[in-house]
Amino acid sequence: MDARYQPPVTPLDVVHADHEILVVNKPAGLLSVPGKGPDLADCLIARLQEAFPTALLVHRLDRDTSGVMVFGLTPHAQRHLGLQFEKRQVKKTYVARLAGRLEPRTGTVDLPLVVDWPNRPLQKVCHQTGRAAQTDWRVVSHGAGETRVRFMPKTGRSHQLRVHALALGHVILGDPLYAEGPARDFERLMLHSEELRLRHPDGGAGMKFRVKAPF
């Protein structure tokens, strides 16, 4: 992570709000929760709680990832949504731009992940001590030296999509942690949480929230 944290100064982008849940479009470069120290205090949950004092964290996105996040507005909603994530009932779709030409058109990465302690916060594949991690992918299009994909993670490990992309041999463009050389020279990490499908905590109705990638 960069030594200097310079979060974007942008207004809250609320996708949906009702009596139980709050759905927002997180900007790239903003922490989901505060880091250690006053210089890392500015984060999405803190900004949200200024406008929605009862907002409660349910899940996280990496600082460098943008896109759809859901928060509970009551303890019941937080528990209900948290269980959906824990039981892998929430369907998540991400859009990413990868270096190189990824083939075939679809596939699954099934590689366990663990923190790379000497190099944390980096994660790495480890078949001995790693936690199970699975990601389905589908190619959207091929461009000049890159591939646009949709990732459908079945698990929610830290840096899962970034490390699985690396394991495929096609890092996510603009990744400050895992990309090297020209693949790193982008204004942001080209990874966006495009869609969440979940059940509403009040009544269980299925809901879909989608925000198009800004890249």
Burial of 55-69, coded b for 16+ CB within 10 Å and e otherwise, reads bbbbbbbbbbbbbbb
23: Cα within 13 Å, side-chain hemisphere: 19
How do beta strands 66-72 and 146-153 pair? unpaired
Nearest to 77 by CA among 97, 93, 54, 106: 54
Q: Which of 2, 39, 62, 110 is catalytic?
A: 62
User: Is 62 a catalytic site residue?
Assistant: yes
Both tokens of 104, joined, read 């075939």
**What is the distance between the alpha carbons of residues 185 and 177, in angstroms, rounded to a whole number?**
12
**What is the distance between the alpha carbons of residues 126 and 140, in angstroms, rounded to a whole number?**
29
Give the active site residues: 62
